[in-house]
Amino acid sequence: MVMKQTQKPEQFDIDALRRKVSESLDPITAAAPGTREEAEINPLAKQIAKQFRDENYSPTIITGQLRLLEFAGLFVLGLAIHYFLFDNSVTRTLIDLMIALTGSILAVLFNQIADSYQISALRAPLRALPRTIGSWTVAAALVTLALFIFRPGGLDFRDWLVTWYGCGLAFLFIERNLVGFGIRRWARNGIMERRAVVVGGGKPAKDLIRALEQQPENDIRICGIFDDRGSTRSPDVVAGYPKLGTFAELVEFARLAHIDMLIISLPLSAEARILQLLRMLWVLPVDIRLAAHSNSLRFRPRSYSHIGAVPMLDILDRPIRDWDSVAKRGFDIFFSLVALLLLWPVFIGAAIAVKATSKGPIFFVQKRHGFNNEVINVLKFRSMYTEMSDPTARLAVTKGDPRVTPVGRFLRKSSIDELPQIFNVLRGDLSLVGPRPHAVQAQTHDRLYGEVVEGYFARHRVKPGVTGWAQINGWRGEIDSDDKIKFRTAYDLYYIENWSLLFDLKILFLTPFRLLNTENAY
């Protein structure tokens, strides 16, 4: 009797693919790609990009705000009931305060455990109502039990607890229904959705789209399809969605539209083509996923995510997203205001010195690359004679440059000329810490930086900064060789991949000390 060997399911090594991506995108060892002209997208793609220009609401941010709202609502209800209906003695007030605080925290915690903050649960509040009521009931019951066990005379709080529990039920019922109405409306209007582009056409793209459409709580909006193949191998319309252009045009499309995710619908066996795609697409501040809805594959749990029941291999994640971006924005605003309070005499002194020693405006405005390659106007104290200034930065400032004023030379060496960029931070164009923004036409040896460094524009996946990891490691000032821009880019990419608030704080703390090294600052 011949035993039939059971075929083991194929296992795709996503970690190996990630390593190859990382090695091929190393800005120091990667070969320069040569001149790349921006791909002009067609009128249909421009029209669709315009429809998705406005930012959408992040589900993660919304559910986080809802947790804060329910905690604050229950807590304030407990205090209000105490103030208006019961004894306001100091001892009683402190006890009621602790009870309200503990009960509100437990209610949010149990709702989290019960998955009551999932978008699907919020979209249908009546269906999820038993979980919401159960979580609040368990929280109130635990607080009551603890009060009766550890507090003599715990029955004295009975009326307050019953009133608070009843008002809490009413609050959660009304609030959840209002939130559900809002989420359903946002979903219809496209305000709260994840916008995705399918990379690759033909049957794999069709199967992927059909699988996504079958998910009951799907929050993915397919914006279009991009494929390099002609209409014979890749139809112009797949599953009702148009093919909007080639892979090169996708980069420009994703910079015009607010896209959250790129889903690659190529076979997993096409590793070389996938790697080629990633070398082109990784510069975009989006999630990049590899569709993996074949039943013959086995995946490591940490390597993939799901859209409904459709598995996606996580290739690259958008850096500094959701609550991280909120925390970083708060960090920027707080320390920018502190800097203005501490440094206002320096601002005034520099402004007077610039105006008194040379003709022209106090500030110099230069166009530089910002987040997602958008062009922003960056402020500096003017350090050059007005008639010799170079807004394009085609000619880098060199040692003893005659275009720089005597005051400007001091401002540049001390980096005081960069201080007005704090106003760019408050306006939201820059961050305090991040890759330094370069002028749009900045170049070395008559070549733009993007022509020298493969993946140079990946620096723009986050907001540029007033100071950065590259600068405090000595890579500041004149860029007169290819190696300088390569190493600066390498440090910037390291910062993006390893970002944290503590990392930002470290860079901010070290910046004044590292600025004492003026060797390359002219």
Q: Quick one: 198 and 174 in the same domain? A: no
As a whole number of angstroms, the distance between CA 497 and CA 18 comes to 13
DSSP-derived pairing of the beta strands 220-226 and 194-199: parallel
What is the residue-averaged pLDDT of the chain?
81
- 235 plus 257 within the same structural domain: yes
Q: Measured between alpha carbons, how far is 140 from 136 in angstroms, rounded to an integer?
A: 6
Whether residue 3 is contained in a domain is answered as no
Q: Is the dihedral of CA 351, 352, 357, 358 positive or negative?
A: positive
H or E element in which residue 163 lies: helix 158-189
> Residue 492 in contact with residue 435, Cβ under 8 Å?
yes
Question: Is residue 2, in this structure, part of any structural domain at all?
Answer: no
Burial 4-13 (b: 16+ CB within 10 A, else e): eeeeeeeebe
- 467 and 358 in a single domain? The answer is yes
Under the banding of pLDDT at 50, 70 and 90, the label for residue 132 is very high
Task: Tell me which of 67-71, 237-241, 428-432, 433-437 is least confident.
Answer: 237-241
CATH number (domain holding residue 295): 3.40.50.20
Q: Give the per-residue pLDDT at 87.
A: 64
Boundary (domain end) residue, out of 189, 204, 228: 189
pLDDT in the model for residue 11: 47
Which of residues 155, 189, 223 is at a domain's end?
189
The more confidently predicted of residues 110 and 54 is 110
Most confident of 35-44, 110-119, 202-211, 482-491: 110-119
456/401 same-domain check: yes
Work out the angle between the directed axes of helices 90-113 and 158-189 (0-180°, nearest 10): 40
* DSSP H helix total and E strand total for the chain: 17, 16
Number of domains comprising the chain: 3
Is pLDDT of 441 > 70? yes
- Output the pLDDT for position 34: 42
- Domain identity same for 492 and 400: yes
CA distance 175 to 182: 11
Q: What is the pLDDT of residue 170?
A: 94
Which residues 6+ apart lie within 8 Å of 153 measured at CB?
none
When pLDDT is averaged across residues 451-479 and rounded to a whole number, the result is 83
Boundary residue ending a domain (301, 316, 331): 316
The number of angstroms, rounded, from the C-alpha of 479 to the middle of its chain's C-alpha atoms is 29
- Locate the DSSP E strands across 79-189: none
Per-residue confidence at 10, pLDDT binned at 50, 70, 90? very low
Q: Work out the pLDDT band at 482, boundaries 50, 70, 90.
A: confident
Q: What number is the average pLDDT over the span 295-309?
A: 61
* CA pair distance 195, 485, nearest whole angstrom: 34
Inside any domain, residue 467:
yes
Highest mean pLDDT among 225-229, 284-288, 371-375, 422-426: 422-426
Q: Residue 333: what pLDDT? A: 95
Determine the average pLDDT of the residues in 311-325.
86
Report the candidate in 201, 133, 134, 117 with the shortest Cα–Cα distance to residue 170.
133
Position 276 pLDDT exceeds 90: no
| Inter-axis angle of helices 323-357 and 59-85, nearest 10 | 100
pLDDT cut 90: percent of the chain above it: 25
Q: Does a structural domain hold residue 521? A: no
Q: Is 185 in the same domain as 224?
A: no
pLDDT of 381 above 50: yes
Q: Does the residue 150 lie in any domain?
A: yes
4 — pLDDT class (breaks 50, 70, 90):
very low
Least confident of 34-43, 143-152, 225-234: 34-43
Q: Could you tell me if 99 and 155 lie in one domain? A: yes
157 and 63 within one domain: yes
Kindly state the average pLDDT of the residues 312-334.
Answer: 89
Q: What average pLDDT does range 298-316 have in this prediction? A: 71
Q: Is the pLDDT of residue 244 over 60?
A: yes
The residues with which 262 forms a beta bridge, in sequence order, are 197, 288
| CB of 296 closer than 8 Å to CB of 9 | yes
What is the rounded CA–CA span in Å between residue 198 and residue 261?
A: 9
Please provide the DSSP assignment of 43-72 as one string: HHHHHHHHHT-SPPPPHHHHHHHHHHHHHH
Better-predicted residue by pLDDT, 327 or 454:
327
What is the average pLDDT across 270-284?
Answer: 82
Note whether 367 and 506 are same-domain residues. yes
pTM of the model: 0.80
441 in the same domain as 461: yes
User: Following CA atoms 298, 304, 308, 310 in sequence, which dihedral angle do they give, to the nearest 10 degrees?
Assistant: -50
Question: What are the tokens at 415?
Answer: 């980096």
For residue 478, the enclosing domain spans 323-514
Average pLDDT of 290-302?
61
pLDDT of 220: 83
Do the beta carbons of residue 243 and residue 233 sit within 8 Å? no
Q: Which residue has the tokens 């070395």?
A: 444
Clarify whether residues 42 and 107 are in a common domain: no
**460 in a domain, yes or no?**
yes
What is the reported pLDDT for 208? Answer: 86
Token pair listed for 84: 């208006």
- From the list 468, 71, 498, 122, the residue with the least C-alpha distance to 324 is 498
Cα distance between residue 246 and residue 506, in whole Å: 42
Count of all residues that appear for the chain in the document: 522
Q: Which amino acid is at 44?
A: L
Q: Which pLDDT score, from 0 to 100, does residue 430 have?
A: 93
Q: With a cut of 60, say whether residue 343 has pLDDT above it.
A: yes
The rounded Cα 374 to chain-centroid distance in angstroms is 15
Would residue 116 count as lying in a domain? yes
Confidence of residue 88 (pLDDT cuts 50, 70, 90): low
Percentage of residues of the chain with pLDDT beyond 70: 83
pLDDT of 322 > 80? The answer is yes
In degrees to the nearest 10, what's the CA dihedral of 450, 451, 453, 456?
20
> Domain check: are 343 and 440 in the same one?
yes
Instruction: Count CA within 13 A, CB hemisphere, residue 514.
Output: 18
| Distance (Å) of CA 467 to CA 97, 147, 327 | 44, 53, 18
Which of the pair, 426 or 93, is modelled with greater confidence? 426
Position 519 in a domain: no
- Structure-token pair, residue 65: 């705000």
- In this prediction, residue 83 has a pLDDT band, given cuts at 50, 70 and 90, of confident
